[in-house]
Amino acid sequence: MATIRTNRQPMDMERAHIPQGEVHVIPERCKECGFCVGYCPEQVLAFSQEINAKGYHYPVLAEHKEDACVHCGFCNLICPELAIFTVEIARQGGSGSAGSQE
């Protein structure tokens, strides 16, 4: 999914708070269905090079996407194995966020 490019900014951009998430994975549960990797709206995830005990490639963070998770929780809810979830953390760096954590 390409990033939306626009010259205009939303009026509440200054107040908007874009959360940052931290992806947690339980590799041994994963069966490599690909739902989380395929439907992450920020394309944060990729398949691992390693395999788990059952021989599946579990999700890892994609290249240059280490801070890109916005804690939307879609991967958590769509995972049939309950093998992935996100936790909200304080945003590091300035990109994307204009509001405070509270």
Partner 1 sequence: MTATSAVIARDHPNDPLLRSDRFPHILCPGCGIGTVIHCYVEAMAASGVPLDNHVCVSGIGCSGRAAGYVNVDSYHTAHGRAIPFALGIAIHKPELRVTVISGDGDLTAIGGNHFIHAARRNMNLTVVCINNFNYGMTGGQAGPTSPRGSITSTAPKGVHDRPFNLPDLARAAGASFVARWTILHVRQLRDAILRGLQKPGFSFIEALSPCPTNFGRANDLGDGMAEMEVYRQRCRIVQELPGFDELDIDFVDEERPIAVGNFVDIDRHPYQPVGADAFDNVPNGTQRVHHPVGEE
Note the residues at the interface with partner 1 (CB under 8 A). Answer: 22-29, 31-35, 38-39, 45-46, 48-49, 54, 56, 59-63, 66, 74, 77-85
Closer to partner 1 by CB, 6 or 93: give it. Answer: 93
CB of 27 to partner 1, least distance (A): 7
CB of 23 to partner 1, least distance (A): 4
**Cβ neighbourhood burial of 82 (10 Å; 0-12, 13-18, 19+):** exposed
Q: How far apart are the first and last CA of the chain?
A: 30
Question: Which neighbouring-strand residues pair with 21?
Answer: 88
